[in-house]
Amino acid sequence: MPTMDQIKTQLQGLLKNHPNVNIDILIAYHPAFTCLPEILEDEELIQGYCMGLLESKKQKMGAGKWIVLLTNKRFYFIRKLMFRSKFDSIPIELPDIKKLTPKMGWFFGKIQWETEDDTIQMLQIGKKDYEFFLPCLEGFL
């Protein structure tokens, strides 16, 4: 289980081309990042993330912003509401992904993950977040 300092270091490494992003403000803005020490395994490395709304064909997803986090082992969909200690986490192992479809509109992007059992779609991804996350997905496209 990595510490919060190790996670901040990994996130800072992803943001090396974005020097104006303060990692502490990013974590404060989206509390789901604070759950990562409980979720990630020791050998998992963060490769990218983005934020948006989440829909699923089979599961009822909670309202609010979700983070999708790509590690070297799996995708995590994570949501933590501001004033609650509980969080929601949905992992998808990388080999379970049958199809991944990104699409960019005028202002927002969306990404769809298809597995054997379900289809999960992240909507209203900000254009900058989408462009930041898309290079991480090249191995799946």
Model pLDDT for residues 93-132, shown as the tens digit of each residue: 999 999 999 999 999 999 999 999 999 999 999 998 999 9
CA atoms of 97 and 66, how far apart (whole Å): 19
**Are 77 and 35 in contact, with CB atoms under 8 Å apart?**
no
Given a cut of 80, whether residue 14 has pLDDT beyond it is yes
Q: Residue 96 belongs to what domain range?
A: 4-140
- Structure token digits, residue 23: 């990692």
Query: Domain containing 15 — which CATH number?
Result: 2.30.29.30
Range with the largest mean pLDDT of 11-25, 78-92, 97-111, 126-140:
97-111
Q: What is the mean pLDDT of residues 41-55?
A: 94
Mean per-residue pLDDT, 22-50: 92
Confidence check: pLDDT of 141 > 70:
no
As for how many domains the chain has, the answer is 1
- Reading the block at residue 113, the tokens are 């993950």
Q: Which residues contact 44 (CB under 8 A, 6 or more apart)?
A: 2, 71, 72, 73, 74
Helix (H), strand (E) at residue 110: strand 108-115
Considering Cα of 12, then 13, then 18, then 19, what sign does the dihedral take? positive
Judged by DSSP in three states, 74 sits in strand
Q: Could you give the CA distance from residue 134 to residue 102 in angstroms, rounded to a whole number?
A: 8
